Amino acid sequence: MRPALFITGLLIVTALVWPGRVSAEPSVPADPAQALSANDLVLEEEVLVRIRDRKFMPSTVRVHAGRKTKLVFKNQDAELHVFMPGTLFNGISLSVEGNGAPEFGEQGFRKVIIPGDGMAELRFTLEQPGRYPFICDMPGHEMRGTLVVE
């Protein structure tokens, strides 16, 4: 009777203590992955360009060479507009999110059409400093801007 009681007692104590010890262990595999994605977010530079009354605001947009960039266009007009940067993004990896309609040619990104009250988010990294003009190519829109890569 007594040894059986003792063993039962031991089992209960072990059951009470063991789960606590297990949950106290740090979860090693999750930590490096989280640190990496947090790092990625910190390194990304976000630049916002509003479009209102047929103007890019600001019309001079500054980004940094070698830096992961998220360039956001918010179209606050009712009509659609276009971000068309010429050959700047030829051969450059670029992703577009939002509700715009991007166009890609053989050389890569050509332009994105952004609906009224719409938004386009472009992610890229540019390596070559310089001043690069962009336009909205909708008929009658005299909209110009300059992307400055510093």
Smallest Cα–Cα separation from 87: which of 104, 121, 110?
Answer: 110
User: Residue 74 or 141: which CB sits closer to Cu ion?
Assistant: 141
The residues with which 130 forms a beta bridge, in sequence order, are 149
Q: Which residue is nearest to Cu ion (CB)?
A: 136
Minimum CB distance to Cu ion, residue 26 (Å): 53
Cα torsion through 33, 65, 110, 101, rounded to 10 = 40
- Please measure the distance between the N-terminal and C-terminal CA atoms of the chain and give it in whole angstroms: 83
Give the span between the Cα atoms of 11 and 114, in whole angstroms.
66
Residues lying near Cu ion in the complex (CB under 5 A) are found at 81, 136, 138, 141, 143
Q: Judged by CB, which is closer to Cu ion: 54, or 64?
A: 54
Least distance in angstroms from the C-beta of 62 to Cu ion:
21
Give least dist CB 136 to Cu ion, A. Answer: 3
Q: Is the peptide bond before 58 cis (omega within 30 degrees of 0)?
A: yes
Residue 76 or 125 with smaller CB distance to Cu ion = 76
- Pick the closer one to Cu ion by CB: 73 or 132: 73
Stated as kind and residue range, the H or E segment containing 142 is none
Nearest distance from C-beta of residue 141 to Cu ion, angstroms: 3
